[in-house]
C-alpha cells in the first residue's frame, strides 16, 4: 500500500509499544474516517492515527514523532469546520481517549480536564454544584475541550460571557519537541502564554491538560422570538437592542431560507415560512431582571417593524424557540448533499448592509444561501448549499466564498470569528495581515516549532519559498 | 511616523537610571547584573505612572492621546495609547457607554492599563482587562510597526497577539493605539461600604456586580459592594443588603494606587478557594510595613501593598505572585517562584519581537 509504505514500520512498532495495539491505526480502511473534519471539502490521508490513552503516552508519542521527524496533526472529535485537523503526509494524534475530568472544585469554581473531554460533559459534571462551563459551541455534545481551545471556539452564549479564551485559566502543553510546560494567564507577572496558545490551532503544540473556569447556572433563562418582514429591519433591531443598554446572553438571526428548510424538516418549529428574518434573543439572571430585559428587547424589535414578538412563557416554549436555530444545520444537511459554512465577522452595524450583499453574491453564482448566525456578535454564518460531486458547482462555491470574505474584511471585519483558519482560510490571511505581521507570526511559530512538525499548512500561509 | 515619535520624544542623557521619588529603590539597573533590565523597567513605568528616565532614552506615548476611531453603535473605540484612562472614561460615558475600569486603573494611561492588566473590581462581571482589548498597533523594539486585531467582537484569525500584549508590561514593544470593547453604560451604579466587623463576616455577595474586600493599616476592614444595571434591579438588590451598608463613592478609590511613593505592591492570585485564608493570614500576621490589601473574592485575586521601604515577607506560598510595583528585590523574589519552562518560552517570544536596546524604555505614563 502506498500509505503504509510511507509510514516507517520502525516508528509504528515504537508507537504501538506506547499506545498498545488498538492505539495505532495504519490500515487504510480504518484511516478513512480521519480524512476530513466536518468541513467535507478539504481532505487528506493521514500516514497513521495514534490514540494515546494517558498524559504520559501523549507526551511520549510526540517525542517519538519529533525524533522521527514526522509531522503530526492534533485532532479531537473531528467536528471542526475549517479543515484544521486534515492531515496530509502527517500522523494524526487523537485525544479522544484522554477524556477524564481530573478534578472539579466547586468552591474554587475550576475544573482540571484532559484534552479529549467532551465540552458538554464539563457542564454536566458541574451541574450538581449549580455550575457550568460557559462556552457552548453548537457541537458541544460531541466536540472536545482541547479542540475548542485550539480554535478558541465560540457559540451563541459567548455574546455576553465571552469565548473559550475567556474561560481557560491555564494549560499544560506538549511542545512540538515533546517538552511540557504549564502556561498561565499572566498572574505570575509573565506573559499571557495560555492566551497565545488558545486559538493557535495546534501549530505550536498540543494540550495535555486544561484548567477551565466554571460559572454559576443562571437563576432564570428566558427567550423571545422576533419575526421580521426584512433582513435589514432585523439587522437594525440587533443594533437597537444594544443601544437600549442591553447585552443579552444570546442574540441569533435566522433568515427565510433557513426557516423554510427547517419547517420542511422533522425539526419544524412552527415559524411562519413567509418571515424574512427571525431574531432569537435570550436573557438570564434574576427572574425580575430577565422580565425587564425581555421587555427592552421586545421594544427594540417592535421599533424596527417586527410583525410579531413571541416571548416564551415557559421552558418548553423557550426550547421551541431555539429549535429552529439549533436544528438549522441538521435540517440543511437534508436539503442539500453539502453545506459550506463561512464564519466571517463584521461590526454589528454593518449587518444590514452586508447581508443583502452576501445574497447578491450567492445569486450571481447561482447558489442557494441560508443564514443563521450570532448576530449580536456580528459573527456571520452564511451557508452555501451544494453538491460536492459537481466540480463546477464546487468552483462556484469557492468563488462566492472568497467574495464574501473580501466583502466582510472590507467592511472592517475578519475572516473567522470562531471556526478557525485551518487549511480552508489560509489563503485569506493576507486580506487581514500585511507582510510584517505575517512575518512576525511565522517567526513566533518557528520559535516553538523550528522543525515545522506541528499541524503543518494550517493557520499561517506558506512562507515565501516554502512548498505549498 | 512612529520612528518620528521615538526620535521626537527621544533622548535624555542619563547614565544611571533611577526610580523617581523612591528612596528605597536606588539604582534600578546595575549594568549587566540585572537579568532583564528593560523588562523590569518597563514594568516600573507601567505600574507607577510617573515619568521614568532610564539609560539614554524613553519612548513616551503621552502625545499619542487622541481618539483614532469611535464607533459607538458597534461598541468599539480606538484611541492613542497615551490617553489618560480618566479622560477616556469621561469621553465614553458622555456617549452613554462604559468601560469596566476601577481603582488604580483609572490613574493610568490606556496603554498602561492594558500593559499592566491588573486585576480589578469588575473582572468577574465584565471580564478582565484582556477581554476589553480587541486590537492594537505597536512598535516593536526592532522598530517594526505592526497592527493586530480588528474592531469586531470575535476574531480568531492567526495568533491572538492582542491577548499576548495585555499584561506584557512593555516587554514586547510599545503599543501606540489600542482598540477596546465598550459596554452599554449601566442605567444605575450604586456603591456601598460595609465597615468594620471581623474578617469572617466578609461576604462574597453573589447578587452584586463587584465586591472588593479592603483592609488598610489605618482603616481596618471594609467591604465595597457595587450594584450595576437596571435602576429597578439595583434598587431591589441594594435593599436586600440591609442597613449595614453605607452608600459610598469608593468605586474609584484604590488602597493600592499605582503611584504610591515608596511602596511595593504585589499581585497575588490564590484563587477563589484560598483567597479568604490568604487575606486572613496577611492581616493576622501583622507583617511590618503591610499597608493595604484589595481583594476580589469572585476572581480570587488581590493586591497587597507594603510601605515605608519595608521588605515584605515571602508572598503566600499557595499564591501565584507578581510584582505590580517594586524594586529588584521584589522582582527577584517573585521570579524565583516561576516555572522555568514558562520563562524560557517567554524569552523565545521576546526574541521574536526583538530585544529592546538596553537604553530604551516604553513609557505609557
Give the minimum alpha-carbon distance from A259 to chain B in angstroms, rounded to a whole number.
26
CB contact under 8 A, B273 and A108: yes
Band the pLDDT of B41: cuts 50, 70, 90.
very low
pLDDT reported for residue B151 = 97
Band the pLDDT of B311: cuts 50, 70, 90.
low
Give the minimum alpha-carbon distance from B210 to chain A in angstroms, rounded to a whole number.
15
Residue of chain A minimizing CA distance to B349? A444
Interface contacts (A, B; CB < 8 Å): 227
Structural domains in chain A plus CATH codes: 9-94 (3.30.43.10), 101-216 (3.30.465.10), 218-335 (3.30.70.2190), 336-444 (3.30.70.2740)
Residue B71 φ/ψ, nearest 5 degrees: -120, 80
User: How far is the C-alpha of B344 from the C-alpha of B360, rounded, in Å?
Assistant: 23
pLDDT reported for residue B247 = 66
Q: Find chain B residues with C-beta within 8 A of A239's C-beta.
A: 73
| pLDDT at position B89 over 60 | yes
Q: Find chain A residues with C-beta within 8 A of B171's C-beta.
A: 191
pLDDT in tens, B234-280: 999 988 877 666 666 555 567 887 667 778 888 999 999 999 888 88
| pLDDT at position A409 over 80 | yes
pTM: 0.92
Are the beta carbons of B122 and B105 closer than 8 angstroms? Answer: no
Q: Is this prediction's ipTM beyond 0.85?
A: yes
Interface with chain A: mutation pick from B159, B228, B301, B324, highest number of A CBs within 10 Å? B159
**Percent of the residues in chain A that have a pLDDT greater than 90, as a whole number:** 91
pLDDT reported for residue B197 = 65
**Which among A190, A292, A374 is the nearest to B232, CB-wise?**
A292
| pLDDT at position B174 over 50 | yes
Mean local confidence (pLDDT), A329-335: 87
Q: Find chain B residues with C-beta within 8 A of A433's C-beta.
A: 157-158
| pLDDT at position B29 over 50 | no
pLDDT reported for residue B36 = 31
What is the rounded average pLDDT for all residues in chain B? 77
Q: Find chain B residues with C-beta within 8 A of A297's C-beta.
A: none
Is A392 exposed, middle or buried (CB count within 10 Å of its CB: 0-12, 13-18, 19+)? exposed
Band the pLDDT of B52: cuts 50, 70, 90.
very low
Band the pLDDT of B198: cuts 50, 70, 90.
low
| pLDDT at position A279 over 70 | yes
**Percent of the residues in chain B that have a pLDDT greater than 70, as a whole number:** 73
Interface with chain B: mutation pick from A105, A155, A185, A189, highest number of B CBs within 10 Å? A189
CB contact under 8 A, A109 and B166: no
Give the minimum alpha-carbon distance from B338 to chain A in angstroms, rounded to a whole number.
7
pLDDT in tens, A106-147: 999 999 999 999 999 999 999 999 999 999 999 999 999 999
**Which among B43, B146, B150 is the nearest to A413, CB-wise?**
B150
HSE at residue B46, side-chain half, CA atoms within 13 A, is 31
* Secondary structure (3-state) at B363: strand
| pLDDT at position B103 over 50 | yes
Q: Find chain A residues with C-beta within 8 A of B138's C-beta.
A: none
Mean local confidence (pLDDT), B221-236: 91
CB contact under 8 A, A432 and B156: no
H or E segment and range at residue B324: strand B320-325
Q: Find chain A residues with C-beta within 8 A of B179's C-beta.
A: none
pLDDT in tens, A419-468: 999 999 999 999 999 999 999 999 999 999 999 999 999 999 997 545 44
Residue of chain A minimizing CA distance to B146? A437
Band the pLDDT of B310: cuts 50, 70, 90.
low
pLDDT in tens, B138-155: 988 877 889 999 999 999
**Which among A162, A246, A448 is the nearest to B127, CB-wise?**
A162
CB contact under 8 A, A186 and B117: yes
- Residue of A223, A214, A222 lying closest to A130 (CA atoms): A214
Helices A435-448 and B340-353: crossing angle, nearest 10°?
150
**Which among A242, A376, A441 is the nearest to B158, CB-wise?**
A441
H or E segment and range at residue B77: strand B76-80
Band the pLDDT of A53: cuts 50, 70, 90.
very high
Q: Exposed e or buried b for every residue in A432-449, given b needs 16+ CB within 10 A?
A: bbeeebbebbbbbbebbb
Q: Find chain B residues with C-beta within 8 A of A448's C-beta.
A: 345, 348
CB contact under 8 A, A181 and B345: yes
| pLDDT at position B31 over 60 | no
Residue of chain A minimizing CA distance to B353? A440
Residue B55 φ/ψ, nearest 5 degrees: 50, -125
**Which among A187, A288, A347 is the nearest to B322, CB-wise?**
A187
Q: Find chain A residues with C-beta within 8 A of B148's C-beta.
A: 437
Interface with chain B: mutation pick from A108, A178, A184, A191, highest number of B CBs within 10 Å? A191
- Give Cα B332 to chain centroid, integer Å: 20
CB contact under 8 A, B152 and A108: no
Give the minimum alpha-carbon distance from A76 to chain B in angstroms, rounded to a whole number.
18
Interface with chain B: mutation pick from A157, A414, A442, highest number of B CBs within 10 Å? A414
pLDDT reported for residue B107 = 86
| B324 CB-near residues (< 8 Å, 6+ apart) | B47, B116, B118, B256, B258, B265, B266, B267, B303
Q: What would the grid cell of residue B275 be?
A: 483567597
CB contact under 8 A, A414 and B152: yes
| pLDDT at position A175 over 90 | yes
Q: Find chain B residues with C-beta within 8 A of A417's C-beta.
A: 152-156
Give the minimum alpha-carbon distance from B324 to chain A in angstroms, rounded to a whole number.
8
Residue of chain A minimizing CA distance to B272? A108
Q: Which of A243-252, A406-415, B50-59, B91-100 has the lowest mean pLDDT?
A: B50-59
Mean local confidence (pLDDT), A250-255: 97
**Percent of the residues in chain A that have a pLDDT greater than 70, as a whole number:** 98
Mean local confidence (pLDDT), B181-198: 87
Residue of chain A minimizing CA distance to B137? A437
CB contact under 8 A, B320 and A459: no
**Which among B96, B155, B320 is the nearest to A414, CB-wise?**
B155
Sheet with strand A91-94: strands edge to edge:
A24-25, A48-50, A91-94, A72-75
| pLDDT at position B51 over 50 | no
pLDDT in tens, B312-358: 555 555 568 888 887 777 878 888 888 899 999 999 999 999 876 65
Are the beta carbons of B307 and B260 closer than 8 angstroms? Answer: yes
CB contact under 8 A, A416 and B155: yes
pLDDT reported for residue B357 = 62
- Residue of A37, A80, A41 lying closest to A339 (CA atoms): A41
pLDDT reported for residue B287 = 73
**Which among A105, A200, A345 is the nearest to B152, CB-wise?**
A345
pLDDT in tens, B6-21: 322 222 222 222 222 2
User: How far is the C-alpha of A89 from the C-alpha of A271, rounded, in Å?
Assistant: 47
| pLDDT at position A392 over 90 | yes
**Which among A186, A195, A416 is the nearest to B156, CB-wise?**
A416
Helix, strand, coil percentages (3-state) for chain B, rounded to 5, are 30, 25, 45
Q: Find chain A residues with C-beta within 8 A of B71's C-beta.
A: 347, 349
What is the distance in angstroms between the CA of the first residue and the CA of the last residue of chain A?
25
| B218 CB-near residues (< 8 Å, 6+ apart) | none
Residue of chain B minimizing CA distance to A408? B152
CB contact under 8 A, B346 and A190: yes
Q: Find chain B residues with C-beta within 8 A of A444's C-beta.
A: 159, 349, 352
* Secondary structure (3-state) at B139: strand
Residue of chain A minimizing CA distance to B338? A188
Characterise A465 by phi-psi region: left (phi > 0), alpha (psi -120 to 50), beta (else).
left
**Which among B74, B154, B353 is the nearest to A418, CB-wise?**
B154
Q: Find chain B residues with C-beta within 8 A of A349's C-beta.
A: 71, 73-74
Amino acid at each position: 500500500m502506498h500509505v503504509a509504505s510511507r509510514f516507517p514500520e520502525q516508528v509504528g512498532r515504537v508507537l504501538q509499544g506506547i499506545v498498545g495495539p488498538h492505539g495505532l491505526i495504519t490500515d487504510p480502511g480504518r484511516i478513512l474516517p480521519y480524512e476530513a473534519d466536518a468541513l467535507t471539502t478539504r481532505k487528506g490521508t493521514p500516514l497513521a492515527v495514534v490514540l494515546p490513552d494517558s498524559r504520559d503516552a501523549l507526551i511520549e508519542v510526540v517525542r517519538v514523532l519529533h525524533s522521527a521527524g514526522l509531522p503530526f496533526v492534533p485532532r479531537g472529535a473531528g467536528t471542526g469546520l475549517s479543515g484544521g485537523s486534515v492531515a496530509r503526509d502527517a500522523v494524526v494524534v487523537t485525544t479522544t481517549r484522554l477524556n477524564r475530568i481530573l478534578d472539579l472544585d466547586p468552591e474554587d469554581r475550576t475544573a482540571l480536564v484532559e484534552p479529549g473531554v467532551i465540552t458538554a460533559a464539563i457542564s454536566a459534571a458541574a451541574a450538581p454544584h449549580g455550575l457550568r462551563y460557559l462556552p457552548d459551541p453548537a457541537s458541544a455534545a460531541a466536540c472536545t475541550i482541547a479542540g475548542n481551545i485550539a480554535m478558541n471556539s465560540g457559540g451563541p452564549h459567548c455574546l455576553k460571557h465571552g469565548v473559550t479564551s475567556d474561560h481557560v485559566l491555564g494549560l499544560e502543553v506538549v511542545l512540538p519537541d515533546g517538552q511540557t510546560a504549564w502556561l498561565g494567564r499572566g498572574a505570575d507577572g509573565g506573559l499571557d502564554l495560555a492566551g497565545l496558545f488558545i486559538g493557535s490551532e495546534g501549530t505550536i503544540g498540543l494540550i495535555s491538560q486544561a484548567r477551565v473556569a466554571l460559572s454559576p447556572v443562571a437563576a432564570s433563562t428566558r427567550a423571545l422570538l422576533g419575526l421580521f418582514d426584512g433582513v435589514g429591519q432585523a439587522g437594525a433591531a440587533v443594533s437597537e437592542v444594544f443601544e437600549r443598554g442591553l447585552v443579552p446572553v444570546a442574540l441569533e438571526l435566522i433568515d427565510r431560507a433557513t426557516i423554510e428548510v427547517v419547517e420542511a424538516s422533522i425539526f419544524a418549529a412552527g415559524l411562519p415560512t413567509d418571515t424574512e428574518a427571525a431574531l432569537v434573543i435570550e436573557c438570564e439572571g434574576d427572574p425580575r431582571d430577565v422580565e425587564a430585559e425581555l421587555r427592552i428587547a421586545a421594544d427594540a424589535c417592535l421599533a424596527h417593524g417586527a410583525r410579531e414578538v413571541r416571548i416564551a412563557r415557559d421552558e418548553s416554549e423557550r426550547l421551541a424557540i431555539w429549535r429552529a436555530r439549533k436544528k438549522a444545520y441538521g435540517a440543511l444537511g437534508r436539503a442539500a448533499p453539502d453545506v459550506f459554512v463561512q464564519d466571517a465577522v463584521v461590526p454589528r452595524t454593518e449587518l444590514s448592509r452586508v447581508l443583502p450583499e452576501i445574497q447578491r453574491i450567492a445569486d450571481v453564482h447561482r447558489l442557494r444561501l441560508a443564514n443563521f448566525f450570532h448576530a449580536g456578535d456580528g459573527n456571520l454564518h452564511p451557508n452555501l448549499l451544494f453538491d460536492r460531486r459537481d466540480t463546477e458547482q464546487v468552483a462556484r462555491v469557492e468563488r462566492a466564498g472568497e467574495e464574501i470574505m473580501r466583502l466582510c474584511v472590507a467592511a472592517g471585519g475578519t475572516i473567522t470569528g470562531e471556526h478557525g483558519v485551518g487549511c480552508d482560510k489560509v489563503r485569506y490571511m493576507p486580506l487581514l495581515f500585511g507582510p510584517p505581521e505575517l512575518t512576525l507570526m511565522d517567526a513566533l511559530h518557528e520559535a516553538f516549532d523550528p522543525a515545522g512538525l506541528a499541524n503543518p499548512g494550517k493557520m499561517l500561509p506558506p512562507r515565501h519559498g516554502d512548498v505549498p | 511616523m512612529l520612528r518620528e515619535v521615538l526620535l521626537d520624544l527621544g533622548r535624555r542623557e542619563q547614565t544611571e537610571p533611577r526610580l523617581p521619588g523612591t528612596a528605597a529603590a536606588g539604582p534600578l539597573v546595575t549594568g549587566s547584573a540585572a537579568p532583564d533590565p528593560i523588562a523590569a523597567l518597563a514594568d516600573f513605568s507601567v505600574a507607577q505612572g510617573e515619568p521614568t528616565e532610564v539609560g539614554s532614552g524613553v519612548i513616551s506615548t503621552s502625545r499619542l492621546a487622541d481618539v483614532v476611531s469611535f464607533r459607538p453603535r458597534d461598541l468599539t473605540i480606538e484611541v492613542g495609547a497615551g490617553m489618560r484612562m480618566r479622560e477616556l472614561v469621561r469621553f465614553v460615558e458622555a456617549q452613554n457607554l462604559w468601560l469596566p475600569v476601577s481603582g488604580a486603573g483609572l490613574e493610568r494611561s490606556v496603554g498602561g492599563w492594558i500593559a499592566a492588566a491588573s486585576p480589578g473590581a469588575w473582572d468577574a462581571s465584565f471580564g478582565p482587562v484582556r477581554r476589553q482589548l480587541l486590537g492594537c498597533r505597536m512598535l516593536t523594539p526592532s522598530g517594526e510597526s505592526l497592527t493586530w486585531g480588528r474592531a469586531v467582537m470575535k476574531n480568531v484569525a492567526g495568533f491572538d497577539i492582542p491577548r499576548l500584549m495585555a499584561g506584557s508590561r512593555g516587554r514586547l514593544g510599545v503599543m501606540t493605539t489600542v482598540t477596546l470593547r465598550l459596554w452599554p453604560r449601566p442605567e444605575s451604579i450604586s456603591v456601598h461600604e460595609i465597615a468594620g466587623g471581623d474578617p469572617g463576616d466578609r461576604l462574597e455577595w453573589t447578587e452584586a456586580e463587584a465586591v472588593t474586600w479592603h483592609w488598610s493599616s489605618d482603616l481596618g476592614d471594609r467591604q465595597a459592594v457595587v450594584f450595576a444595571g437596571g435602576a429597578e434591579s439595583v434598587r431591589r438588590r441594594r435593599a436586600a443588603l440591609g442597613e449595614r451598608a453605607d452608600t459610598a463613592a469608593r468605586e474609584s478609590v484604590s488602597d493600592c494606587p499605582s503611584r504610591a511613593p515608596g511602596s511595593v505592591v504585589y499581585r497575588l492570585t490564590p484563587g477563589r478557594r484560598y483567597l479568604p485564608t490568604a487575606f486572613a493570614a496577611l492581616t493576622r500576621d501583622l507583617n511590618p510595613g503591610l499597608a493595604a490589601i484589595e481583594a476580589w473574592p469572585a476572581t480570587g485575586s488581590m493586591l497587597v501593598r507594603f510601605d515605608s521601604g519595608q521588605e515584605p515577607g515571602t508572598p503566600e506560598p499557595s499564591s501565584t505572585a507578581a510584582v505590580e510595583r517594586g524594586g529588584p528585590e521584589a522582582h527577584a523574589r517573585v521570579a524565583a517562584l516561576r516555572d522555568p519552562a514558562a520563562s524560557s518560552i517567554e524569552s523565545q517570544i521576546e526574541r521574536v519581537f526583538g530585544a529592546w536596546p538596553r537604553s530604551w524604555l516604553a513609557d505609557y505614563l
